[in-house]
Amino acid sequence: MAFYYEAEPPTWKYKERYGDWKKFPKRTGVKLEKLYKKIFEEHDTSVVEYVWNNEDQNTYKINLQTMSAQNQHSYYRNSDVSREGYPYPPPGNKNTLAKIHAKYMTTVEEEGDNGPEMVTFFEMSEFFGAMGIDPDGLEALIVLAMCEVDTFLDVEKKKFCEGLAKCGCSNINDIKNAVTPIRNKLLVQKNVKVLKSFARWLFVAAKEDSARTISTAQLSLLLKIMCPVANFPLSPNFVAFLAAESEKEDGDRKTCSRDDWVMMVEFVCAKESWNNFEELVEDEGWPLIISECYESVTNKGEN
């Protein structure tokens, strides 16, 4: 579940034979992680080494298949390389998860282009009901994110089993229990990296396949669920702003990009009031949509 366990990047370190572990510079770590994913996730082994020049101007050839680094200035000064990865729990049982998924599969007859046809889909409402979870609430979205679905239209067996097993779940109780710490990270701790990562996933899952934007009306509803006022005092301002923009006949904000959506979530997470807003925008570089919302709130207050 990338949005939660992978919100913080892995830590890359190296250690010479008799030395202590040292962290690679942040930029180097990002490049190593990119190459690592290319090798082990995309299975592209055309390039397995990365050349790094450290602050002492020593050149290291880092091999990510052997997780070792060779100092090009000294054949005998080889280093071990470490990747402290994401803290996923022990995996759950995919077989029992497959049985759960099968239990909530439903087949109905629908009218197709060539007449009636049988359609099979996952009955999400019944599944969430079995856990005592509101199908239209944040907890339901968290479970779908755990499954790593890329659409809200259905939950495929493969994604259901692999996603929930990755989160350490084997049964209904495991799934329900796994939701609690994630919900706390989002609402109580208000971890900005996890919130932004969740917002990115939510945008992709909610949009149509080929679309690059989402209607502000839809995002207004999603923001209300994701950032409730009890935890995010500024959230209602953006919920109302997005809803109002969607109703304008000739408005420029009928839709919203992913970047603007994520920045809105970050803003309501970081700020509890509009105090010193002009300075915040100037000093911190918030996007135009934040200013537009502020102007909307201000104009309402003056009317």
Question: How far is Cα of residue 61 from the mean position of the Cα atoms in its chain?
Answer: 33
- Beta-bridge partner residues of 107: 120
In this chain, the answer to whether the domains covering 94-187 and 192-302 adopt an identical fold is yes
Q: Which two tokens stand for residue 204?
A: 């992709």
With tokens 């939510």, the residue in question is 202
Three-state SS string over 222-268 comes to HHHHHCCCCCCCCHHHHHHHHHHHHHCCCCCCCEEEHHHHHHHHHHH
The pLDDT, as a whole number, for residue 49 is 95
Q: What is the 3-state secondary structure (H, E, C) of 101-133?
A: HHHCEEEEEEEECCEEEEEEEECHHHHHHHCCC
207, amino acid identity: K
The class level of CATH for 94-187 reads mainly alpha
Residue located via tokens 């609690």: 180
Closest C-alpha among 26, 44, 23 to residue 35: 44
> Would you call 198 exposed, middle or buried from its count of C-beta atoms within 10 A (0-12, 13-18, 19+)?
buried
CB 14 within 8 A of CB 24: yes
Give pLDDT, residue 213. Answer: 94
Phi, psi of 157 (to 5 degrees): -55, -45
Whether the model clears a pTM of 0.85, i.e. scores above it, the answer is no
What per-residue string of b and e applies to 225-244 under the rule 16 or more CB within 10 Å gives b? bbbeeeebebbbbbbbbbbb
> 171 and 99 in contact (C-beta within 8 Å)?
no
The domain made up of 2-84 is a member of CATH 3.30.720.50? yes
Nearest to 169 by CA among 98, 259, 273, 254: 98
Sequential pLDDT tens for the chain (303 residues): 788 998 888 999 999 877 899 999 999 999 999 999 899 888 899 999 999 998 777 789 999 999 999 887 766 568 899 999 888 899 999 999 999 999 999 998 878 777 788 889 999 999 999 999 999 999 999 999 999 999 988 899 999 999 999 999 999 999 999 999 999 999 999 999 999 999 999 999 999 888 899 999 999 999 999 999 999 999 999 999 999 999 988 777 899 999 999 999 999 999 999 998 888 887 888 989 999 999 999 887 555
Domain boundaries in the chain? 2-84, 94-187, 192-302
**Domain 192-302 in this protein, CATH class:** mainly alpha
CB atoms within 10 A of CB 296: 17
The helix-helix angle for 235-247 and 258-270 (nearest 10°) equals: 150
pLDDT at 87: 85
Q: Which pLDDT tens digit goes with each residue over 255-287?
A: 999 999 999 999 999 999 999 888 888 788 898
Strand-pair category, 59-63 with 68-71: antiparallel
Question: 242, 219 in Cβ contact below 8 A?
Answer: yes
CA pair distance 59, 61, nearest whole angstrom: 7
User: What are the two backbone dihedrals, phi and then psi, of residue 118, each rounded to the nearest 5 degrees?
Assistant: -90, 130
